[in-house]
Structure 1
């Protein structure tokens, strides 16, 4: 069983103030799962996007506005946002403090298409 360490992987800037680490995916040996650790800084925005698979986003830290379809909902630590396949979603952090999300996909090769 491999043990994967976030510090062993390169941080990718998704947008200004938003960093992502790919924790689990096909490149790391997974056959059917991708997991990303996303840190959303103060005033950070995760641009709205869609995936061909569903995505579960567990809020690990902080508070943000989640965009899901045409709704905007404030979410906090301990909540999970479930975006169905093809439904636009993203986050806006207006809370004044950093937020962190664990993004989970049922595929080893996550695909993302920006919208809006």
Structure 2
């Protein structure tokens, strides 16, 4: 019987991953960083939003799915706005401007999956493009 690799190669736990502070009350736990390789077809992790916080309108070079794990969100995807509750999921096509922000009275936590290993974020307001979770990819703010 072939021995499986030791964790965290196969199992990733949030308390074993160093959060990425996006500033302004938003922190991301990038699970993919623990096992990323050229074979991976997705990038995944979770982000925690404090009350009233969110990210500005932006788009990605790949599609994105977001699942609400805790709290209440408002999502703007293209020209549409949706209220989301725990268990609700969304899908955002590549290149479509979107944002999620915490509209509830407590912490909001989302689980996200990008349809690719190399992910960029283009800020709608400025047109600037950054590598996902790079030093320049911050910008959380009040909504």
TM over 0.5: yes
Match of 1:82 in 2: 91
Match of 1:45 in 2: 54
Match of 2:36 in 1: 29
Q: Mean alpha-carbon deviation: is it higher for 105-114 or for 55-64? A: 105-114
Q: CA deviation at 1:40?
A: 1.0
Ranges of 4+ aligned residues in structure 1 off by more than 3 Å: none
Unmatched segments (≥5 aa) in structure 1: none
Match of 2:77 in 1: 68
Instruction: Compute the TM-score of the two structures, normalised by the length of structure 1.
Output: 0.88
Unmatched segments (≥5 aa) in structure 2: 126-143
Matched positions, count: 115
Q: Mean alpha-carbon deviation: is it higher for 3-12 or for 73-82? A: 3-12
**In the aligned structure 2, how far is the partner of 1:115 from the partner of 1:78?**
28
CA deviation profile, 1:45-76 (whole Å, cap 9, x unmatched): 12211011110001111111101112221111
Aligned residue for 1:47, secondary structure, equals coil
> What's the C-alpha RMSD, in Å, of the aligned pairs?
1.6
